[in-house]
């Protein structure tokens, strides 16, 4: 009895057509070894004849791979961003890069939220690993430098990639050069003629925050510009910390003429306070963001911004993990993905 036109072709149909077991079909479609050439050819003829497209379950049947990559993001910060609805597209870009890279290689990416501050973080990660059995794990900041998570993955011999980390001691490290990006943003403002440039730092929980501050300091030092007390303001990537930093700048005896913020939310907070105080951007104050998200492109004025290669970094992480799962040699060391500086109307030469 034949299949109805609406009935999809399954691995069982291919096995019956080729006269082999389900496991043999799975090994062939996964290009696994230990299949005789004649059998492989017979299975591929059946696949072509029936128009079979292998499912994830079928692919997992014949070997040790799960064809899943697990991406872990920080629960508290992610949920807070969703609840506030403030428009950050970091997660969108991460999913975009990782999911497309996985799909191109016959994989799927699963996205999970883990509380990096929890005393039970190892239990949370273990639960995700046990239930999904991924072929690799992508860690995003601050998980990328969380020793509890890293030690657990090393102990379980689980391949993992670390987004935003410059530490190649364990796993694959994929990052942009945060220090060079901060230098580029600072040099852009110096090139416009600014000398009193403020820098709103990111959360100390993230190693990249220190690299960005160091890059700013290096650019200022390179041209002999002093970094007086108060030019570097603390921040935590939030809108409120950007507001607080800008209030501090505007209360200086000699106000700054330009500010670089380590996130788009801090840049928008700074812009909000400048408007409230009647400070014209960029006429009296130039402003640069460290994220090139839709909200900074559509703000008034549109903000000059460092474009982080979030999607390319996540795609690279997925590719490295999939190569590792298939036994392919991967490039060692830290993988640095280029950034860009998008110049818009929020930066201009200082008045006078």
Sequential pLDDT tens for the chain (352 residues): 455 444 577 878 888 888 988 878 877 776 676 788 888 888 888 888 888 766 665 556 555 678 899 999 988 888 877 877 755 688 889 999 999 999 888 899 999 999 887 888 899 999 999 888 999 999 998 899 899 999 999 999 999 999 988 887 889 999 999 999 999 999 999 999 999 999 999 998 888 899 999 999 999 999 999 999 999 999 999 999 999 999 999 998 788 999 999 999 999 999 999 999 999 999 999 999 998 888 899 999 999 999 999 999 999 999 999 998 888 877 767 899 999 999 999 999 998 6
Region of 164 please: left (phi>0), alpha (psi -120 to 50) or beta.
Answer: left
Question: Can you tell me the distance from the alpha carbon of 119 to that of 49, in angstroms, rounded to the nearest whole number?
Answer: 55
Residue 14 has a pLDDT of 84
Q: What is the pLDDT of residue 250?
A: 94
- Are the beta carbons of 74 and 143 closer than 8 angstroms? yes
Residue 201 is encoded by which pair of tokens?
A: 């730092």
Coil/strand/helix, residue 137? strand
Number of neighbours of residue 332 by Cβ within 10 angstroms: 9
* CB-CB contact of 238 with 331 (8 Å): no
pLDDT at 59: 59
Question: Where does residue 193 fall: left (phi above 0), alpha (psi -120 to 50 degrees), or beta otherwise?
Answer: left
Which backbone phi and psi does 118 adopt, to 5 degrees? -70, 145
Q: What would the two tokens of residue 257 be?
A: 């003429």
Per the document, the length of the chain is 352
Helix (H, G, I), strand (E, B) or coil at 176: coil
Q: Are 148 and 170 in contact (CB under 8 A)?
A: no
Q: Is 25 exposed, middle or buried (0-12, 13-18, 19+ CB in 10 A)?
A: buried
In this predicted structure, what is the pLDDT of residue 174?
A: 95
Distance, C-alpha 94 to centroid of its chain: 5
pLDDT for the residue numbered 240? 95
Partners of residue 161 on adjacent β-strands: 138, 172
CA dist 35 to 48, 49, 70, 320, Å?
18, 20, 30, 27
Here the tokens at position 98 are: 């990782």
Domains in the chain, ordered, with CATH? Answer: 11-61 (1.10.260.40), 68-176+310-336 (3.40.50.2300), 178-307 (3.40.50.2300)
Distance, in Å, from the CA atom of 170 to the CA atom of 321, rounded to the nearest integer, reads 13
Instruction: List Cβ neighbours of 7 (8 Å cut-off, separation of 6 or more).
Output: none
pLDDT score recorded for residue 328: 80
Contacts 24+ apart (CB under 8 A), 41-47: 42/18, 43/14, 43/18, 45/18, 46/14, 46/17, 46/18, 47/14
């Amino acid at each position: 009895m034949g299949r109805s036109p609406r009935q999809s072709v399954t691995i069982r149909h291919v096995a019956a057509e080729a006269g082999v077991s389900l496991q043999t079909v799975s090994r062939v479609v996964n290009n696994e070894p230990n299949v005789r050439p004649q059998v492989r050819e017979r299975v591929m003829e059946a696949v072509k004849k029936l128009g079979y497209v292998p499912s994830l379950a079928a692919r997992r049947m014949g070997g040790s791979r799960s064809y899943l990559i697990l991406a872990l993001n920080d629960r508290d910060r992610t949920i807070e961003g969703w609840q506030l609805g403030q428009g950050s597209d970091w997660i969108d870009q991460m999913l975009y890069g990782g999911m497309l890279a996985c799909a191109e290689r016959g994989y799927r990416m699963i996205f999970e939220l883990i509380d990096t501050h929890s005393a039970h973080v190892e239990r949370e990660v273990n639960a995700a690993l046990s239930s999904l059995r991924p072929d690799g794990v992508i860690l995003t900041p601050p998980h990328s430098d969380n020793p509890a998570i890293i030690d657990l993955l090393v102990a379980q011999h689980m391949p993992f990639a670390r987004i935003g980390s410059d530490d190649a001691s364990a796993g694959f490290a994929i990052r942009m050069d945060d220090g060079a990006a901060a230098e580029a943003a600072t040099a852009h403002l110096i090139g416009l003629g600014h000398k009193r440039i403020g820098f709103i730092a990111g959360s100390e929980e993230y190693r990249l925050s220190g690299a960005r501050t160091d890059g700013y300091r290096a650019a200022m030092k390179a041209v002999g510009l002093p970094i007086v007390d108060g030019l570097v303001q603390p921040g935590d990537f939030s809108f409120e910390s950007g507001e607080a930093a800008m209030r501090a700048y505007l209360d200086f005896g000699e106000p700054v003429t330009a500010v670089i913020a380590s996130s788009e939310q801090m840049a928008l907070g700074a812009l909000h306070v400048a408007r409230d105080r009647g400070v014209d951007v960029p006429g009296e104050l130039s402003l640069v963001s460290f994220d090139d998200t839709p909200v900074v492109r559509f703000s008034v004025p549109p903000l000059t911004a460092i474009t982080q290669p979030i999607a390319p970094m996540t795609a690279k992480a997925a590719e490295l993990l999939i190569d590792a799962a298939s036994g392919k040699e991967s490039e060692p060391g830290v993988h640095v993905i280029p950034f860009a500086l998008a110049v818009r109307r929020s930066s201009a030469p200082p008045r006078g």
